[in-house]
């Protein structure tokens, strides 16, 4: 019997050694089990332990566990074999139970379960089990530490990882290559690349795993050059280059292509690595193929990416998704759609990543409806996906849709991040929705994002645009760090509310704090000068613009033209305009509008016609400017010609502003029959400004009939506005219809409409001065009263703003 037991033990050992193939080893395991039972050796713990191990290695975990349970006196080896079988079967609950039942656990028992739990995606539990092992007084082995370090990296538990490092040194495992590689992986995944570099530099003989882990960490940290140099060192050292290492270095090339690195150099290097892939025979490696596609896509070499894709022996949904993303990032929206269709024809069903990539492509192509359709196909959008669509709506100025989508995001209990909050704050700012802006502010405090510069800039802008400049300044003052965007938001907010001196002071502080002004900074300051009609300050800012090299920036240049025009200095405006090398439509519009507002209608028309010879296509704003010039200079026939050419020649549908300009031109000339014809065909009947322009023309030409018609529309649309009552009363008074004039004044009084006092502003050595004329209804002369800028003028700022906006 003893000889038979020894023979069976020898056969089991041999089977265990060669238990790689599935069917032969399974058949041998079952046959040997039958021999053990037939020989009456079912109680032999040694043989049964070997059978449990063989069943486990042969992929028969259920048989292994049955054999274990048949043991009358299982020992530590029996339990460890059964735990291994349970872990191989993915039955972690059974493995935990077996570990708990063991009378005496050793390091092997713990190692097996900790490794399985860590691999299963429960790194936190793996770390808890590791603590349990230490509490039992067991010293970790290299296998223990490798599993635990992997778990630390998965949850970015840098502190736990460092303690493991310390324990490895204490037990003498810090030089073990298995542990060293685990430490490298942990440090890189926790973002502590400096620790990883120190460890790597101290390794006696790093292997391919060490190099690959270190390259991956460098790529993740953005140290592209270091990663590429490390790959070159790996090749020179004669260390085996495997597909994983090549994939890491391709990741470095892809990151270089996507960033500020020399893209051409990165592509050349990647092409060399591509050649290495072919030489090494790695062409069939799908993961490596995907890395090549990604690298070429990020380098905007989609033809090369497609060649790699077509050469791959097998592709996955990941391959298709990378290709779709590449075309989307390049702006080839139609091609991305074609690839999506081809993917489905090839039998691959789109997944959530596919739809997310297509969503981003649609947003880049500014096709928001298609983006929404892609978004609706995603069952559980991530916060990044929500942000992509929110940003798309915001970029297209669909701010109400942005807010509605955000409410949907809240309903789905998706926690917003800094991007979400910044986008929503921007929409609140554009729409002037202070209450929602305050709610977003509260959310930012709860999420500890209120001090984030990206969010804080949005808060400053939102409060400023909603009239709460004081709150903006409080937020700005408590910020521990400020970037140029924060300064710009504050300066812009002050400038918008005509707090021009404060804006100038902030601009000065910004420079004193070492912040270099941007085009936005200068545009805000130039606009402040325009509001003040202050040529001296405007020239100072212009000088700084020249010094900082922004004179050829079209955004700053357009603001300078606008400033000189609003200050009435058209010669300097034209001089600067002529010096601009690149002129976009905004610059042309500002120059034409400047001529129009300053009474140079002929020059506005002349410049417009010259613009057309440069092949610059006009937009709707251009026509508002040139029609305004025609209106102010009596060029009525020219105004009619330009108006009629909008739709026929340029495909621009006239807006209410264009109709207003045309009616103003016709009304000033007293051509009221044509005015009535325009009114009859125009689609805009409920715009108060249009009717006010017509009523003003009726005052000039004493046209009571059409004046009454216009005034009635204004009484309906804007009953509290005193202007139509005053203008209609003036028409009646001029025509000697004093009874009708009195009736209008009585109607005005009964409706509680009060005529506000007007102010005029001039610059004075002590600051800005406002002149008020005490003018009663119907009187022609009043006594002027002057206020300094530190006196209360009860609405002076609002009047000044309105006059400024009106041009």
Paired strand residues for 784: 773
Chain centroid to CA 630: how far?
44
| CA count, 13 A, side-chain hemisphere, 645 | 16
pLDDT of residue 800: 31
Residue 1 included in any domain: no
Query: Coil, strand or helix: which one is 801?
Result: helix
Is the model's pLDDT at 16 over the cut of 70?
no
Return d(Cα 192, Cα 215) in angstroms, integer. Answer: 13
Residue 764 included in any domain: yes
Q: Which of 582, 603, 619 is the last residue of a domain?
A: 582
Residue 567 included in any domain: yes
Residue 526 included in any domain: yes
How do residues 162-212 score in pLDDT, each as one tens digit? 999 999 999 899 889 999 999 999 999 898 999 999 999 999 889 888 988
**Do residues 607 and 593 make contact, with C-beta atoms less than 8 angstroms apart?**
no
Q: Structural domain tally of the chain? A: 2
91: which 2 tokens? Answer: 């039955």
- Residue 678 CB contacts under 8 Å (≥ 6 apart), including other chains: 659, 662, 663, 666
How do residues 76-127 score in pLDDT, each as one tens digit? 888 888 888 888 878 888 888 888 888 888 898 898 899 988 888 888 899 9
Q: Which of 582, 610, 633 is the last residue of a domain?
A: 582
- Residue 377 CB contacts under 8 Å (≥ 6 apart), including other chains: 350, 355
Confidence of residue 805 (pLDDT cuts 50, 70, 90): very low
Which of 48-62, 249-263, 335-349, 519-533 is predicted most confidently?
335-349
Domain holding 539, by residue range, is 482-582
Is the model's pLDDT at 791 over the cut of 70?
no
Cα–Cα–Cα angle for 223, 229, 235, rounded to 5 degrees: 140
| CA count, 13 A, side-chain hemisphere, 231 | 28
Residue 323 included in any domain: no
Mean predicted confidence (pLDDT) in 613-627: 94
Long-range contacts of 119-127 (CB under 8 A, 24+ apart): 120/90, 120/92, 123/150, 123/151, 123/152, 123/154, 123/155, 124/151, 124/155, 126/151, 127/151, 127/152, 127/155, 127/157, 127/160
Q: Radius of gyration over alpha carbons of the chain, in Å?
A: 39
Residue 667 included in any domain: no
Q: Which of 582, 601, 623 is the last residue of a domain?
A: 582
Return d(Cα 348, Cα 720) in angstroms, integer. Answer: 64
pLDDT of residue 751: 85
| CATH number of the domain enclosing 516 | 1.25.40
Q: Which of 283-292, 314-323, 593-602, 674-683 has the lowest mean pLDDT?
A: 283-292
Return d(Cα 369, Cα 362) in angstroms, integer. Answer: 8
Residue of 247, 230, 248 whose CA lies nearest to 239 = 230
- Residue 348 CB contacts under 8 Å (≥ 6 apart), including other chains: 317, 320
How do residues 709-762 score in pLDDT, each as one tens digit? 999 999 999 888 899 999 999 999 999 999 999 998 999 888 887 776 655 555
Confidence of residue 54 (pLDDT cuts 50, 70, 90): low
Residue 342 included in any domain: no
Paired strand residues for 773: 784
pLDDT of residue 496: 85
Residue 498 included in any domain: yes
């Amino acid at each position: 019997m003893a000889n038979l037991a020894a023979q069976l033990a020898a056969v089991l050992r041999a089977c265990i050694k060669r238990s790689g193939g599935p069917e032969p080893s399974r058949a041998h395991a079952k046959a040997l089990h039958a021999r053990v039972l037939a020989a009456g050796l079912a109680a032999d713990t040694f043989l049964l332990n070997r059978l449990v191990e063989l069943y486990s290695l042969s992929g028969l975990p259920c048989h292994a566990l049955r054999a274990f349970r048949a043991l009358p006196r299982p020992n530590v080896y029996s339990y460890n074999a059964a735990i291994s079988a349970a872990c191989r079967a993915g039955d972690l609950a059974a493995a935990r139970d077996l570990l708990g039942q063991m009378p005496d656990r050793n390091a092997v028992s713990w190692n097996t379960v900790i490794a399985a739990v860590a691999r299963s995606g429960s790194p936190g539990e793996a770390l808890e089990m590791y603590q349990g092992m230490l509490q039992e007084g067991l010293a970790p082995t290299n296998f223990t530490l490798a599993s635990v370090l992997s778990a630390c990296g998965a949850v970015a538990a840098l502190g736990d990882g460092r303690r493991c490092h310390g324990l490895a040194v204490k037990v003498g495992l810090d030089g073990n290559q298995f542990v060293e590689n685990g430490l490298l992986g942990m440090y890189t995944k926790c973002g502590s690349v400096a620790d990883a570099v120190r460890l790597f530099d101290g390794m006696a003989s790093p292997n391919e795993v060490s190099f690959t882990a270190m390259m991956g960490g460098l790529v993740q940290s953005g140290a592209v050059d270091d990663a590429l140099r490390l790959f070159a060192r790996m090749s020179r050292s004669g260390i085996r280059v495997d597909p994983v290492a090549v994939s890491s270095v391709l990741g470095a090339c892809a990151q270089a292509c996507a960033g500020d690195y020399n893209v051409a150099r990165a592509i050349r290097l990647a092409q060399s690595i591509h050649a290495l892939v072919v030489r090494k025979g790695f062409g069939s490696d799908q993961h490596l193929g995907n890395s090549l596609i990604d690298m070429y896509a990020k380098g905007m070499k989609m033809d090369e990416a497609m060649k790699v894709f077509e050469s791959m022996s097998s592709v996955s949904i990941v391959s298709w998704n990378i290709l779709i993303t590449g075309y989307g990032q390049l702006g080839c929206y139609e091609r991305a759609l074609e690839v999506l269709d081809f993917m489905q024809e090839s039998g691959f069903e789109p997944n959530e990543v596919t739809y997310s990539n297509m969503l981003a492509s649609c947003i880049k192509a500014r096709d928001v409806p298609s983006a929404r359709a892609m978004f609706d196909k995603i069952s559980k959008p991530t916060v990044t996906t929500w942000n992509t669509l929110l940003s798309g709506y915001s970029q297209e100025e669909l701010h109400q849709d942005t807010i509605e989508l955000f409410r949907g995001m809240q309903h789905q209990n998706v926690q917003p991040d800094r991007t979400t909050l910044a986008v929503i704050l921007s929409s609140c700012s554009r729409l002037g929705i202070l209450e929602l802006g305050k709610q977003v502010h509260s959310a930012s405090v709860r999420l500890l994002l209120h001090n984030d510069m990206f969010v804080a800039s949005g808060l400053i802008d939102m409060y400023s645009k909603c009239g709460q400049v004081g709150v903006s300044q409080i937020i700005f003052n408590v910020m521990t760090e400020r970037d140029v965007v924060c300064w710009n938001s504050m300066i812009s907010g002050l400038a918008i509310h005509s707090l021009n001196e404060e804006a100038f002071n902030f601009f000065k502080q910004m420079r004193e704090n070492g912040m270099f002004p941007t085009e936005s900074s200068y545009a805000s300051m130039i606009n402040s000068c325009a509001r003040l009609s202050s040529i001296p300050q405007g020239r100072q800012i212009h000088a700084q613009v020249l010094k900082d090299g922004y004179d050829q920036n079209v955004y700053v240049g357009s603001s300078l033209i606008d400033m000189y025009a609003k200050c009435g200095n058209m010669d300097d405006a034209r001089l600067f305009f002529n010096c601009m090398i690149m002129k976009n439509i905004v610059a042309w519009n500002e120059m034409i509008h400047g001529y129009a507002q300053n009474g140079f209608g002929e020059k506005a028309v002349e410049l417009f016609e010259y613009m057309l010879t440069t092949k610059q296509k006009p937009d709707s704003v251009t026509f508002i400017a040139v029609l305004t010039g025609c209106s102010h200079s009596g060029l009525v026939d020219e105004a009619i010609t330009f108006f009629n050419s909008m739709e026929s020649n340029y495909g621009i549908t006239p807006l209410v502003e264009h109709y207003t300009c045309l009616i103003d031109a016709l009304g000033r000339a007293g051509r009221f029959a044509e005015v009535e014809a325009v009114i009859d065909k125009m689609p805009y009947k409920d715009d108060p400004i249009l009717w006010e322009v017509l009523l003003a023309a009726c005052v000039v030409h004493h046209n009571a009939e059409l004046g009454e018609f216009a005034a009635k529309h204004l009484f309906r649309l804007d009953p509290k506005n005193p202007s139509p009552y005053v203008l209609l009363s003036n028409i009646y008074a001029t025509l000697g219809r004093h009874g009708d004039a009195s009736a209008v004044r009585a109607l005005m009084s009964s409706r509680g409409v009060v005529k506000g006092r007007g102010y005029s502003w001039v610059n004075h050595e002590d600051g800005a001065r406002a002149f008020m004329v005490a003018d009663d209804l119907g009187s022609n002369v009043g006594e002027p009263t002057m206020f300094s800028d530190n006196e209360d003028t009860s609405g002076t700022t609002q009047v000044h703003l309105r006059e400024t906006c009106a041009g």
